[in-house]
Structure 1
Amino acid sequence: MLYEKLMMDSGMLTKFMLFKRITKINQSDVSITQLSDELSLNYQQTSIIVTEINNDLTKIISTHPSILHRAGKVDSTKLLVTIDEYRYFLLKKSVPFQYILYFLNHDSPNIEDFCQRYYVSRSTVSRKMLPIKKHVKQFNLRFTYTEANLIGDERSVRVALFDALWLGTRGTIWPFKSVALEDAQKLAGAFSEYFPLSRTYLGAKELTYFAAIFLCRTRKKMFVSYDTRYDFLMKDNPYYDFERLNNELGPVHSLDPEQSKGESSFIFFLAHYAPFYTIDDDPSLFQTLHDFSVRPNPVYELVQEFLTYAKANIFKKEPEILDKPIIIGNLINIMFTFYVLGKPFPNLQILVETPHQKRKADQFLELKLYQFFDEKAQEKEYKFIYTIKKPLVHSVKSILLPSYDKPKHSEHLKVGVAFEHNFTLVRMIYQFLNDLGFVDSSPYQEELNDSYDLVISSSLLPRKKYPELPLYFWDLSYGNKDLTDLYKTLQQLFEKKNIIQD
């Protein structure tokens, strides 16, 4: 489920979606009628909500110009408030978001105190928390109220809290009242070498949020225990410095040996819990490849067995793709996390990706992945796969899909070209179509009308004779700049042809 649907009630969500749509259109004369049709609202509802948004903008920026015009028009080019800023403005009144911030930032948090602070009843809290309660339940986490908290495997708790706060603010503000920004930055900096995130602009900010949540939880005496499944990676491995944390925290805030070991191991685990690698020459990527390959362990063995299988059954024509360090490193991270936790765990991807219809290429890839993991789940050393097969397949698919040549495993478009019989006139179109990789083009033939997905013609004569023919008119005076619209048309047809109908 998308993040906003978890955090916002229906009225707040409608307002946010309308604001998001206004921002995306970016025109000076957007009609309220158009907006109401697109969001399936009536005109009066839309007009009221747009007026509320206009008033909200002046609460965020006192000098914000009005986006309202007469005659039921909206000027979205006057927007000075970003989507992230408006989302956070709304979330400050969201009970789930308020509740998470409350128990992170206050000592001895409880439901009675929360209700008094935010002028809300306990029944309202319970009702508005239902979507996010259902969401975290899939990770064996639950919210408590007598003592306000989120409980379960503390590792999953912290990742879930990060997801909730990062997606609500996107780094635009500092939501941690109980932790100074400087303290979080200092802790993040001390361990930055372990995290690929630290080498990108937003990644560095994300890492600071993780550090703040670490400090919030440990200061409240909520600790992570050491997991023996880390042993093959971290035990007697000088790369993982278990003395660094207490050295960084200092004598006043230092942890006892057991706590320090558990918390340090979590930091190192966190560096592997997601497919973080995006840069080819990342030092932490090569460290991962080295550490997992030189120490006997089921994770690296499983990855190697999978790569052998995928080269033979999925990437037959391009097996070298699977030799890329980024692919291998990200597969190791995914397998390691599922091996350690043995259950689904929170991740940003499922909160930001809009569900889409499955395509034929996706189906083929997914089928091959299930075939591999179904077989492996029967083996004793990989029995952990059985309970997490679905999220594991989804995660592995997300790594392979960008490198997976969809056109080779999808149904191509059949396109007829009806141009004057002159090479110099048609060569640009044929070259363009051939370069796309998902189009089979040939000279137009009337007897093949029923098989064409599209006919590109410099004349409208075929349409006059065959009104139902899918025809795209291409004037001979058109040039390279006009190919953009043709590409959009072909891409839409290709997607439609390869969507699996339920």
Structure 2
Amino acid sequence: MLYEELMMDSGMLTKFKVFKRITQINQSDISITQLSEELSLNYQQVFIIMNEINHDLAKVISTHPSILQKAGKIDSTNLLVTIDEYRYFLLKKSVPFQFILYFLNHDSPNIDDFCQRYYVSRSTVSRKMLPLKRHVKQYNLRFTYTEANLIGDERAVRVALFDALWLGTRGTIWPFKSVPREEAERLAEAFSEYFPLSRTYLGSKELPYFAAIFLCRTRKKIFVSYDERYDFLMQDNPYYDFERLNKELGPRQALPPKYTKGESSFIFFLAHYAPFYTLDDDPSLSQTLHDFSIRPNSVYELVQEFLDYAKINIFKKEPEVLDKPVLIGNLLNIAFTFYVLRQPFPNLQKLVELPRKKKKADELLETKIQVFFDEKVKEKEYKFIYTIKNPLVKMFKSVLLPVYDKPKHSEHLNIGVAFEHNFLLVRRIYQFLNDLGFVDSAPYQEELNEQYDLVISSSLLPRKKYPELPLYFWDLSYDEEELADLYRTLQQLFEKKNIVQE
């Protein structure tokens, strides 16, 4: 289920979809008839929704011009409110979103107080929370109401909370009333060297959210325990500084010794819990490859055995593609996370990517990876794979697919990609761009603004800072029609760039 489907009721979700579509079209004469046909709604429904959206825009910006025109037309070029801002405007009235913010930001949260504050009944809360409850259940998490909270493995809890708050705001506002942004930014900066996120545009903005959630939870005396499965990586490893946390928190906020190790290890675990690596020269990637390879451990052995298998059975004609540090580092992170947790784990990818029909290349690759893990699970050392084999296979496939199905290409356009820092989120757009045959794409860097033909971004923050930047907004939950729109834009840019000047 997509994020908005978990957080919004049906009426709210329809408004968001209509707003999203008029943002994408960006024309001065969009017809309501056209919208109703595209979105499978009748004319009257779209007319009413557009009037509501027009009214909402004036609430966000009091001087916002009307986007409604005569003869059933809409002028989306008049939009001053971004899709991120409108999503957040709607979510402020969403019970699931309100509930998460409530129990994070209040000292003694409980259902009666929540209902009183937000003028809702217990039955309404229970009903509107149902999709989100079902979603978190797959990670063995559950919401409680007498004492309002999300409980389960606290590591999964914090990642699930991050996903909910980041996707609801995309960095446009600071949702943590109990934690000043500056405080979270300082803590994030203190540990930034461990995180590949810190070296990319949106990734550096995600880290303070993780830090704020850390501070919210620990101040409520909700702590993470140390996991002995970290030992081979973190024990007696000077790279992981277990003294740094309390030094940064200072004597007044320092954690008791029995909690410091667990909380510090969780921060280090977060640096590995997803396939974060996208840059070959990332120092944290080099450190990961070093640390996993010099100490005996099942994770490194599993990945190496898989790569040996893949070079013979999957990439026989080009085995060298499996020697890429980024690919190996991402496989190590995935294997490490499943080795430690031994259950599915929250991730942004599932909340933003629309289900797609499986292609032959996907199916064939997945089958070959499945064969490897079907054999591995028979070995005593890898029996833990049995319960998480399916998600593990899919994650490995997601990392390998871009190099498995990559044609030869010649690139001409210089494209910057500013997405949330997660390999599984950016892999599809990179694969799409590379498959075109005339594109060079890489993570967006502000200092290269003058060199870009286009910046494709899931946030409009770069445009706010650089109004002249050629930016193409790309919602992470895109569909095939939007890929066609992007292709047309890129094709036009390519032709323009290659016109011979007389």
The bucket for the TM-score relative to the shorter chain is 0.7 to 0.9
Where 1:272 maps in the other structure, the secondary structure is coil
Query: What is the CA deviation profile of residues 284-330 of structure 1, one whole-angstrom value per residue up to 9, with x for unaligned ones?
Result: 00000000000000000000000011111111111111100000001
> 2:41 — aligned with what?
41
Question: Within 2, Cα distance between the matches of 1:83 and 1:147?
Answer: 34
Unaligned runs of 5+ in 2: 409-434, 438-487, 495-502
Letter in 2 for 1:281: D
> 2:14 — aligned with what?
14
Runs of 4+ in 1 over 3 A off after TM superposition: 481-485
Equivalent residues in 2 for 1:340-379, closer than 5 Å: 340-379=340-379
Comparing 148-157 with 250-259, which one deviates more in the overlay? Answer: 250-259
Kindly state the Cα deviation for residue 405 of structure 1 after the two structures are TM-superposed: 2.1
Query: What is the CA deviation profile of residues 150-193 of structure 1, one whole-angstrom value per residue up to 9, with x for unaligned ones?
Result: 00000000000000000000000000000011110111011111
Q: 1:7–1:96: 8 Å Cα contact kept in structure 2?
A: yes
Percent of aligned pairs sharing the same letter: 81
Question: Within 2, Cα distance between the matches of 1:85 and 1:117?
Answer: 23
Kindly state the Cα deviation for residue 407 of structure 1 after the two structures are TM-superposed: 6.0
Equivalent residues in 2 for 1:185-334, closer than 5 Å: 185-334=185-334
Letter in 2 for 1:146: T
Kindly state the Cα deviation for residue 436 of structure 1 after the two structures are TM-superposed: 7.3
Question: Within 1, Cα distance between the matches of 2:338 and 2:378?
Answer: 16
Q: 1:101–1:175: 8 Å Cα contact kept in structure 2?
A: yes
Question: Within 1, Cα distance between the matches of 2:115 and 2:102?
Answer: 11
Question: Within 2, Cα distance between the matches of 1:377 and 1:20?
Answer: 45
Equivalent residues in 2 for 1:69-80, closer than 5 Å: 69-80=69-80
> 1:151 — aligned with what?
151
> 1:56 — aligned with what?
56
Where 2:251 maps in the other structure, the secondary structure is helix
Question: Within 2, Cα distance between the matches of 1:482 and 1:67?
Answer: 24
> 2:390 — aligned with what?
390
Where 2:252 maps in the other structure, the secondary structure is helix
> 2:106 — aligned with what?
106
Letter in 2 for 1:338: F
Q: How has the CA–CA distance of structure 1 residues 233 and 110 changed in structure 2, closer, same or farther, with 3 Å as cutoff?
A: same
Kindly state the Cα deviation for residue 403 of structure 1 after the two structures are TM-superposed: 1.4
> 1:181 — aligned with what?
181
Question: Within 1, Cα distance between the matches of 2:20 and 2:394?
Answer: 28
**What is the CA RMSD across the aligned residues, in angstroms?**
1.7
> 1:96 — aligned with what?
96
Question: Within 2, Cα distance between the matches of 1:361 and 1:124?
Answer: 45
Question: Within 2, Cα distance between the matches of 1:54 and 1:372?
Answer: 55
Question: Within 1, Cα distance between the matches of 2:68 and 2:42?
Answer: 18
Q: How has the CA–CA distance of structure 1 residues 483 and 243 changed in structure 2, closer, same or farther, with 3 Å as cutoff?
A: closer
Where 2:143 maps in the other structure, the secondary structure is strand
Equivalent residues in 2 for 1:114-125, closer than 5 Å: 114-125=114-125
Unaligned runs of 5+ in 1: 409-434, 438-480, 488-502
Question: Within 2, Cα distance between the matches of 1:71 and 1:338?
Answer: 57
Kindly state the Cα deviation for residue 395 of structure 1 after the two structures are TM-superposed: 1.0
Question: Within 1, Cα distance between the matches of 2:258 and 2:380?
Answer: 31
Q: Do residues 30 (structure 1) and 30 (structure 2) align?
A: yes
Kindly state the Cα deviation for residue 483 of structure 1 after the two structures are TM-superposed: 11
Where 2:250 maps in the other structure, the secondary structure is helix
Q: 1:361–1:406: 8 Å Cα contact kept in structure 2?
A: no
TM-score, normalized by length of structure 2? 0.81
Letter in 2 for 1:357: K
Q: How has the CA–CA distance of structure 1 residues 267 and 304 changed in structure 2, closer, same or farther, with 3 Å as cutoff?
A: same
Kindly state the Cα deviation for residue 337 of structure 1 after the two structures are TM-superposed: 0.2
Where 1:99 maps in the other structure, the secondary structure is helix
